[in-house]
Structure 1
Amino acid sequence: MNRWLHRRVRSAYERLLAREISGAPTHVAVIQDGNRRYAKRRGDDAPDGHRAGAETTERVLEWCQDVGVEELTLYAFSTENFDRPPEEREALFDLLCEKLREFADADRVHDNEVCIRGIGDIDRLPERVRDAVNYAESRTREYDRFVLNIALAYGGRNELLCAARSVSRDVADGELEPEAVDVETIERRLYDRPVRDVDLIIRTGGDERTSNFLPWHANGNEAAVFFCTPYWPEFSKTDFLRAVRTYEHREQSWRRTRARRAIALLGAVSEPELADARSVVSRFRDSLPRGERPDEDALESNRTTETR
């Protein structure tokens, strides 16, 4: 009875959260933490936890597509994971091979035109994992409706370091002028194909840190972050929808802040500039729900204060 009631309450809460969500982040990145702790709590071995986590990964892919997310990046194997015991590491490599090939052949992947890509220092991985990555990429290369990035042998600092070294070599060889180095120059050297800026990072397992994950695309974009306590195999659709709601609330707050700043700035401009500036504020205000729009009277108040 209690289990039935729990399912009913959870289902009702999911429906409530779904109604509250009006827009989804374009790119979600997930740190899938807690597989080993989940297995230990159940008296299982670490590979059992990783396998349970792989099932959650499949569900999250579906949830992302349901709400309109266009790109999902999963932190599957970090550079620090090379320090794990050999038997655990090899079991994880076997699971990665199995799931990459399974995903690449799945009807739902092809029906939804999911492009699978490996990002990170792939060359550090065993040959069988590299072959599985190549297989998944080649099978889905032409798709562009949804992008699934699998971060393997990945470390954010190492990623930026490699890009900086590449730029330095080209400058030293005279193939690139220092003044020509811009954002696009760095981004072209991070991955073979472009990765969207990250809008939302989700981390499971209770730790509140982003662990060197996608620093260029997440920190540079001031991504929203959602930390939650469930281990990755326990991560539910309710948790996912709460994460999306966190992103929405942050975006609404940021839009309000920008609108207020724009109104304050108008107080310092001269009359000839005022008409153009008003149009900027109007665009900010129109993007907000009616009840959240800052009062335009604040503009005149600010200007009066400035001119006294």
Structure 2
Amino acid sequence: MKRWLRQRVDAAYEQLLSREISGAPTHVAVIQDGNRRYARRKGNDAPQGHRAGAKTTERVLEWCQDVGVEELTLYAFSTENFDRPDEENEALFDLLCEKLREFADADRVHDNEVRIRAIGDVDRLPERVREAVDYAERRTRGYDRFVLNIALAYGGRSQLLEAVRGVAADVEAGEVSPDDIEVETIEDRLYEQPVRDVDLIIRTGGDERTSNFLPWHANGNEAAVFFCTPYWPEFSKTDFLRGIRTYEHRAESWRRTRARRALALLGAISDAELAEAQSIVERFRDSLPTAERPDPEELEAGENEQVDGIDSSGRAAD
């Protein structure tokens, strides 16, 4: 009876969250933590926990497509994982081979035009895993409706280090001028294919850290982060929707901040910046509390006259 009631409550909460969500992040990155602890709690070995987690991965892919996410990155195997027992890693490598080929052949992957890509130092992986990666990438190369990145032998710092080394080598060879180095110069060397900025990081298993995951694309974009306690095999759609809601609250806070900054600047900027600031205020006006919202007439007046005693040229009014 208690289990039945719990299921009813969970279903009702999931419906409530679904109604509350009005938008979705473009790129979600997931740290799938807790597979081994889940297995130990069940009295099983680590490989059984990873296999249970693989089922959750399939469901999360569907949930992302349901709410409109366009790119999903899964932290499947880090560079630190090489230090785990060989028998555990070999079982995980077998599972990765199985799932990569299964995904690459799945009707739902092709029906939804999912492109599968691996990011990380894939050359460090066993040959059978590299072959499975190549198979999945070749089978889905022509798709672009949804991107599924699998982070394998991945370490955020090592990826950045290799990118910087590449830029330094080009500078030394005279192929790139230091003055020409921009954000895109680094990004072009991080991965073979572009990766969108991360909007939301989800980590399961109870730890509250991002573990060197996509630092360039997450930290630089001030991504929202959602930590939750369920182990990865137990991660539910309700947990996923709570993560999406965290992103929405973060995005709403960002819009309020932008609007407030623009309002503060309206009275002290030049003609060239005035139109942009007014555009920001108008765009994010509804995100401000009612008491802080300027009247449309005030914004229009600021275009031709003055705001807070300062005219459109930035000079104090007489």
Change (3 A) 1:266 1:166: same
Alignment size in residue pairs = 306
Aligned to 2:15: 15
Conserved in 1, the CA contact under 8 Å of 2:259 and 2:288?
no
- Are 1:232 and 2:222 an aligned pair? no
The answer to whether the 8 A contact 1:264-1:302 is kept is: no
Query: 1:143 aligns to what?
Result: 143
Q: Which residue of structure 2 lines up, in the alignment, with residue 294 of structure 1?
A: 292
1:256–1:293 CA contact under 8 A, matched in 2:
no
2:209 aligned partner: 209
Give, as a single letter, the amino acid of the residue that structure 2 aligns with 1:174.
Answer: G
> Structure 2 matches for 1:1-308, cutoff 5 A?
1-269=1-269, 274=274, 277-285=277-285, 288-289=286-287, 294-296=292-294, 303-304=308-309
Say whether the 8 Å CA contact 1:55–1:233 is kept in structure 2. Answer: yes
Structure 1 letter corresponding to 2:82: F
- Pair 63,279 (structure 1): closer, same or farther in 2 beyond 3 Å: closer
Give, in whole Å, the separation in 2 of the partners of 1:225 and 1:273.
33
Q: Distance in 2 between matches of 1:237 and 1:22?
A: 16
Letter in 1 for 2:212: N
Equivalent residue of 2:197, what SS? coil
The structure-2 alpha-carbon separation of the partners of 1:293 and 1:128, relative to structure 1 and needing over 3 Å to count, comes to farther
**CA deviation digits over 1:173-196, x for unaligned, max 9?**
111111111111111111111010
> Does the Cα contact within 8 Å between 1:256 and 1:294 map onto a contact in 2?
no
**Cα gap change, 1:257/1:277 in structure 2, threshold over 3 Å: closer, same or farther?**
closer
Change (3 A) 1:276 1:97: closer
TM-score when scaled to structure 1? Answer: 0.94
Deviation of 1:272 (Å):
8.8
Q: Distance in 1 between matches of 2:224 and 2:272?
A: 38
- 1:42/1:272 CA distance change after superposition, 3 Å: closer
How far apart, CA to CA, are the structure 2 residues paired with 1:302 and 1:37? 60
For the residue of structure 1 that corresponds to 2:169, the secondary structure is helix
Q: What is the alpha-carbon root mean square deviation over aligned residues?
A: 2.2
Amino acid at match of 2:293: D
Q: Deviation of residue 283 (structure 1)?
A: 2.5
Contiguous gaps of at least 5 residues in structure 1: none
Give deviations 1:61-97, integer Å, cap 9, x for gaps.
0000000000000000000000001110111111100
**1:284 positional shift:** 2.9
Look up the equivalent residue of 1:227 and give its one-letter code. F
- Counterpart contact for 2:256–2:288, Cα < 8 Å: no
Residue type of the alignment partner of 2:308: R
TM-score, length of structure 2 as denominator length: 0.91
| C-alpha distance in structure 2 between counterparts of 1:274 and 1:86, whole Å | 62
Counterpart CA distance in 1 for 2:51 and 2:275 is 60
CA shift for structure 1 position 269: 3.1
Q: SS of the counterpart of 1:142?
A: coil
SS at structure 1 position matched to 2:265: helix
